[in-house]
Structures are given as C-alpha cells and as structure tokens.
Chains A and B, each alone.
Chain A
Amino acid sequence: MMVSLYSAATGMWAQQYKLDTISNNLANVDTTGYKKVRAEFQDLVYQYYKNAGTPTAVNSTIPTGIYFGHGTRLSATTKIFSLGNMEYTGNALDVAITGDGFFQVQLQDGRTAYTRDGTFKVDSEGRVVTSNGLALIPNIVVPADAVAINISPDGIFSAEMQDGTVQNLGTITLVRFVNPSGLKAVGDNLYLETTASGEPIEGTPNQDGFGALQQGYLEKANVDVVKEMVDMITAQRAYELNARAIQTADNMLQTVSTLKR
C-alpha cells in the first residue's frame, strides 16, 4: 500500500509521545528539583529506488536519485539539567544547590540514589532524611536539644545548642556525573546511576565546579510553562497535519477503488 499512510502514522505516533513528555513536564511544574524532559526525533530509513550516479548510457549517469523516506521516530527523551528558580521558604532544613551537583540518599535496599530535592526533615531519631524518610549520605544526626540549624554554602552542617554553643554535625557532600542526562529517573525526585551516566564524582559544595548550598531555599522545577504551552500547540498542529496526510492517502485510495464501478 502507500508509504505515505505509514509515514504519516509514525508522525502521529511521535507527536503523541511528545505530548506525553509535555504533560509530564506540566504536571511537575511545582515539583521541587524537577528537571524537564524533551522529546527528540529523527527521520527513519530511506528507500532508494534509483541511486544518483547510476550509469544510463556510455558517458552518462543519472544526476539525481529517487528516494522515499518512511517517517519519523522518537530518538531520545533528554532530561535538561538547567537550574530551576530558587524559592525562599525560610525553613532551616530546606537546601537548594545553586549549580551542579546532587544530594546522595540511602534507599531502603541499601543502594544510593541521587536527588536535587533539598526538602530535608529530621526523623524521630534525629537523622536528616528526605520527605520520604530516606537518610541523607553522609548521615547527619541532629541532637534533640538543638535550637537552630545552620548549613554553610560549602556544606558544613552545624547546630546551635540550648546552652549557646555551636556543634559541628558533619559536612554535606555532593556528587556529579559526567553525563547527568544518562541518569535513570525513578520517581519521587530520585535518580539512579547507570552505565550511561558514568560513576558518581564526589566533592565539596562550592568547590571544584560544584554548586554552593543555599539554606532556606528550594529549587523549583525548571519547567517553563510558556514554552511547554507553545510545544503543546505545535505538537497538536503537527498531529493534525499528519492526520490530514492519512486522510488524503485514504481519499486517494478511495478514488482508486471507485475506478471500476
């Protein structure tokens, strides 16, 4: 049957995926530390009916070829790790990374996950944990009689005690990856290391290219609502265009079928 029917169908299919990523970006527009995802496309294979340069006669070749493309495919969904907006919360346990880097947290099964969501809490044992109760690595325990918490830009976590003394509780370290786009997003604002991301490189905040920590702030999603809306509009129109191509192909086939009455 006609190649166009299938090419146009791949176009509609691709736009559905694009809309899926846009919807997810928009749904996470208020998610702390969320990084937007972009759908990327590539053209599919080409079928060559006549190759350019094929000899036709002595001293003569076909100057140009005839080929047909077979549509498009989704080639990647890339996470864009640009910085989100910083929002002031005033909460002493909210920390934002103003640059490169991830916090490390301990999963229930012992593995290490990575996040940029700095909404930390203190659990019943005084440990610093994420909203989901996952312990921060390195472990930091806040004494019960601490009255104030201070986190310096380079990660030093200290507490002011009731008696007025300041106690150093530890240092928050960050990790970064050669290819953060290769990290596997597993939901709950967490990422896991993959072979594509490379090994985590640990370091001190505010040094060696790592971002500084900003206490009392949270990093919002880096989703740009206007851009997502524009993308949504173009996705819808591209979908319609491809639907129209299918309709045209269908009409032409119908015309063929009425040739013999």
Chain B
Amino acid sequence: MLRGIYTAAMGMLLDMSKLDVTANNLANVETVAYKRDKLAFRAYQDRAIYALPDRRQPIGNLTYSAVLDDVFLDSSMGTFMKTDNPMDFAIDGEGFFSLLGEDGVYYSRAGNFKLNEEGYLVNTDGLMVLDENNQPIRFESSYVVDADGYIRDPVGNVITRLGIYNFDDPGELRKIGYTLFQPTEESGQPVVADEFRILSGYVELSNVNAIDEMVNLIEAQRHFEISQKALTVSDETLAKLISQVGSLK
C-alpha cells in the first residue's frame, strides 16, 4: 500500500503521546516539587534510496517514520513559595530528601512534611524522613532547621542532619508517583549532596511552565491535523488510482 499512509499514522500516534505527557504536566501544575516530563522522538528506519532498481545510483536517505524514543524528567528547580509553616522545607540547589519506603529508600524534593502521632517527621503519605545516618527523625520538643540541613534544639545543639542526596543524572530517576523517585542504573547511586541550602517555611512548586505546555498542546494538535491531511491525501490518491487508472471499461 502507499507508504505515506503509515508514515502519517505514525506521526499522529506521536502527537497523542505528546498530548499524554503534556496533559500530565498540566495536571501537576500545582503539585509540590513536581518535575515535568519531556519527550524525545527519533527517526525510524532510515533507508538509502536509489535512482533505479537495477542501476544502483544512490539518491539519498528516506525516513519511513518517527517513533517515541525517550521520556525523561526535567530536574530543574521549581520556584519557591513562602508558607508560614515550620514543617515545610525546600531544597535550594541540588539534592533530594530521603524517605523510608516499603522496599528501600525513596527520594523526593517535596518537603511539605508533617509530624506523625509519635513525633516522627513524615511526608504526606506517612513515609518517614531520614537523616544522614538513614535513621528516622523524631522531635521531642521544638526545633530549628538551619540552611545546611542541621536540625538543632532551641538552645542550638545539633540533634541530627537531614539526609540530602544527589545523583549523577537526576533526569534518569524513575518516577513512582506520589512525587517520589527511585534511583536507576542510568541515574547512578545516591551520593551526599553538598551544593544546597535548606529553606524552612518554604515549599518548592512544580517546575511546569504553563506557556511551554500550551505551546506543546497547540503544536501537537496542529501537527496531528496536518498528518491527518497527509493521510487523507494519500488515501484519495489511492482511491483515484483504483477507480480511474485501474478501472476496467
């Protein structure tokens, strides 16, 4: 059949993927410390073409279609919002909070923490926040958290320090929802972060840029319509071929 029909259809499928990713970013435009997803496409099945089948004179390459190659996260910082809540922390700079999960340590930049009934510092889902020795953090009285992540009692004695870790390539962390991340082979193993400042009483907002996402939406929709046009034209050409050229009179 006509190759154009399939090439156009592949293009349309990509636009749908693009819309899926954009819609998820937009849905999380107000999610604390959400990191937006980005897409990469790649040409597929490049083939050398020739002038004539028997005279092997090359003309150049023809791309048959495009495929979705990669979805990765944009680990850039979101903006900070002052909240007046001493239980809110934001990391200005590199690094992730470490949280005790059911099957290992999770990492997150969402610092909207709470205290549970036993006085442990937990995230919204009740996962315990870990200190630099991978121990849960418990408060027995009031406390102060300084810019370096040291937790001090009101007198100024250091109780412990928040466990803040960084990765070689944070863009390759695996998202597991609930604004939590897991390290992957590509992201590298966690290393203690040093280029950061803890802001107490602030939260990091989502790094979704509404303008970029709107542009992506429009682009996906228009590209989809154009691809559809290409598909329809291919189809009409085929129809003409069948009804006029190939018809028996």
A binding-site residues for B, Cβ under 8 Å: 2-5, 7-8, 10-11, 14-15, 18, 38, 40-46, 52-53, 61, 63-72, 75-76, 78, 80, 82, 178-179, 181-182, 195-198, 209, 222, 234-235, 237-238, 241-242, 244-246, 248-249, 251-252, 255-256, 258-259
Please choose the segment from B91-99, B158-166, B177-185, B188-196 that sits at the chain A interface, where 4 or more of its residues have CB less than 8 A away: B177-185
In the complex, which residue of chain B has the Cβ closest to the Cβ of A67? B71
Smallest CB–CB gap between B200 and chain A, Å? Answer: 13
B117 pairs with A196, CB closer than 8 A: yes
B176 pairs with A245, CB closer than 8 A: no
In the complex, which residue of chain B has the Cβ closest to the Cβ of A10? B27
Smallest CB–CB gap between A113 and chain B, Å? Answer: 18
* Given known A-B contacts A64-B70, A75-B125, A242-B26, A42 and B110 have beta carbons under 8 A apart: yes
Determine whether B7 belongs to the interface, using a CB cutoff of 8 Å to chain A: no
* Given known A-B contacts A15-B30, A46-B175, A64 and B72 have beta carbons under 8 A apart: yes
Q: Residues of B contacting A38 with CB < 8 Å?
A: 83, 85
* Given known A-B contacts A64-B70, A178-B115, A235-B30, A71 and B214 have beta carbons under 8 A apart: no
Across the interface, A80 reaches (CB within 8 A) one of B16, B83, B178, namely B83
Q: Residues of B contacting A15 with CB < 8 Å?
A: 30
A255 pairs with B228, CB closer than 8 A: yes
How many residues on chain B are close to A (CB under 8 Å)? 65
List 5 tightest A-B contacts by C-beta distance, closest first: A11-B27, A4-B23, A69-B24, A64-B70, A7-B23
A252 pairs with B26, CB closer than 8 A: no
Q: Can you list 6 A-B pairs, Cβ within 8 angstroms, ordered by A?
A: A8-B26, A41-B31, A42-B179, A46-B176, A252-B221, A259-B228
Q: Residues of B contacting A252 with CB < 8 Å?
A: 15-16, 19, 220-221, 224
Q: Residues of A contacting B129 with CB < 8 Å?
A: none
A68 pairs with B20, CB closer than 8 A: yes
B binding-site residues for A, Cβ under 8 Å: 12, 15-17, 19-32, 34, 37, 40, 68-72, 83-85, 87, 110, 112, 114-119, 124-125, 139, 141-142, 172, 174-179, 184-186, 210, 213-214, 217-218, 220-221, 224-225, 228, 231-232
Give the complex CA separation of A46 and B114 in angstroms: 25
B124 pairs with A245, CB closer than 8 A: no
Across the interface, A259 reaches (CB within 8 A) one of B40, B178, B218, B231, namely B231
Across the interface, A42 reaches (CB within 8 A) one of B20, B40, B177, namely B177
Q: Residues of A contacting B68 with CB < 8 Å?
A: 66
Give the complex CA separation of A67 and B139 in angstroms: 38
Give the complex CA separation of A220 and B32 in angstroms: 28
* Given known A-B contacts A178-B119, A196-B116, A65 and B30 have beta carbons under 8 A apart: no
A64 pairs with B172, CB closer than 8 A: yes
B17 pairs with A68, CB closer than 8 A: yes
